[in-house]
Amino acid sequence: MHGLRRWWDGTAGGLPATFWYLWSGLLINRAGAFALLFLSLYLTAARGASAALAGLVVGAYGIGGAAGTLLGGVLADRWGRRSTLLAAHLGAAGLMVALAVSRDLTVIAALAALVGVAHSMPGPAFVAAIVDVVPEHRRARAFNLQFWAFNLGMAIASLLAGVLAEASYLALFLVDAAATLAAAGVIALKVPETLDRRTRSVTVAAAVGRRPGLHTALTDRVFLVFVGLTFLLAVLTMQTSTIMPLAMRADGLRPSAYGLVVALGGALIVVGQLFVPRLIAPYRKATVLAVSTGLMALGFGALAVADGLPLYLGAAVVWTVGQMLAAPPNAQINADLAPPELRARYQSVFYLTFPAASFVAPALGGLSLERLGSRHWLVVGALGLVAAVGHLLAGPSQERRVAALTGPRTVPSAHPDPRRNGRSHRTPGGGGRPSPP
């Protein structure tokens, strides 16, 4: 027991209480996130849409997400992290109820776009708040735990949703809305505002005489190359929630089989993710990302020959290991490349990759699946290999940029005294151990 506690302390690393409340809100939200997992199946099975039309409707969610991501980043830097999170969660809950009772495909598509706005707004605020409150040397652990919570919630959601989808699609949407409200309650009661408006630091943007803003992130070439590579990774990841359920249905598998495949990936992450930071610590981040993306390419490419549940489960193991290895370095590079006063804006540009992939993956993937059949998965695998090579080539420039941002910064504002912002840094009891809620 003592050894287990020492391992946990080493993994959690004395993270502040505010992080744990953010972590808890994320876990609650994801554990009830049923609807989007089964939206394409809902549209084809309950609303009579074709695979291509279902892909376009689900793609509307991605279009809304692009607007919501940028809006969330700007609001989180101007309005505050906490206010942005609350507005997004409350809006998402109401929209999910409206989606549950809608019947017309045009209305469903419009609501899906609005849900995309509400679901994407919290992303930049969540990550910016974590970076606000977690010391730099502990952020890799924090991001790893964030990814762990996300997938623990997904595993719970997938197991329950596979059964509920066969009984009632309406229940999926209503439980999703209830979980979103519960997450909003945790944030409202326990998460303080973490944005310190007094903190300013010397950045690359200021050094060249430009007023820092969203355009700084949109013209940062090193950062945008990383964003583009993350977009390819997101397109691969989105296959599991958009195209794979359609492929499994074409192979005669039931919704519960799809839920089992997704749950297996979540279970593997829950069991093994906490060990990943020590496993990848000796290696360069770009190398880890290249290997992890290559594994994802191999896993999805293998679906070209999958025609039964065992092969789908085996492929899921391969791409899930890739996802596990990719999560910590991807999040850490993203945080390291962002100047502190533009933290949420940079996050919003980074998070554009996910709604963009939410549109591209189903919109083009649905057509690809109809026309290419199982060869669609060979195209997906090829995209993954392109991303793997890209990470190897882009690594040196990313490392030089991080060194330029962090090396000269020795002013006190780069290492704020916790007493200046006690809400963000203090843990109950003043101890150094993690303080779960």
- d(C-alpha 158, C-alpha 320), whole Å: 15
- 3-state secondary structure (DSSP) of residue 119: helix
Provide the pLDDT confidence category of residue 11 given band limits of 50, 70 and 90.
low
Give the pLDDT band (50/70/90) at residue 322.
Answer: very high
Counted residue by residue, the chain has a size of 437
Three-class SS of residue 127? helix
8-state DSSP, 365: H
pLDDT tens digit sequence for 272-298: 877 887 888 888 889 999 999 999 999
- How does pLDDT run across 205-260, given as a tens digit for each residue? 443 334 566 778 888 888 999 999 999 998 888 888 778 887 788 777 777 788 78
pLDDT at 197: 65
The whole-angstrom separation of Cα 390 and Cα 377 is 20
pLDDT band at 430 (very low <50, low <70, confident <90, very high): very low
Domains and CATH numbers, the chain: 25-189+214-408 (1.20.1250.20)
Tokens found for residue 288: 């880890």
Q: Between the CA of residue 176 and those of 203, 257, 343, what are the distances in Å?
A: 41, 21, 29
CA quadruple 151, 152, 153, 159: dihedral positive or negative? positive
pLDDT attached to residue 296: 93
% of the chain with per-residue pLDDT over 90: 15
Distances (CA, A) of 429 to 115, 187, 426: 40, 21, 9
- Report field, pTM of the whole predicted structure over 0.85: no
Which CA distances in Å does 179 have to 4, 34, 94, 152, 394? 31, 10, 12, 15, 39
DSSP 49: -
Assign 3-state DSSP to the chain and report helix, strand, coil percentages, each to 5: 85, 0, 15
Window from 80-94, 100-114, 259-273 with minimum mean pLDDT: 259-273
In this predicted structure, what is the pLDDT of residue 157? 74
Q: Which residue has the higher pLDDT, 51 or 334?
A: 334
List, for residues 192-209, the tens digit of each pLDDT value: 988 876 644 444 444 333
Report pLDDT digits (tens) over 42-86.
777 777 777 777 777 777 887 887 788 888 888 888 888 899 999
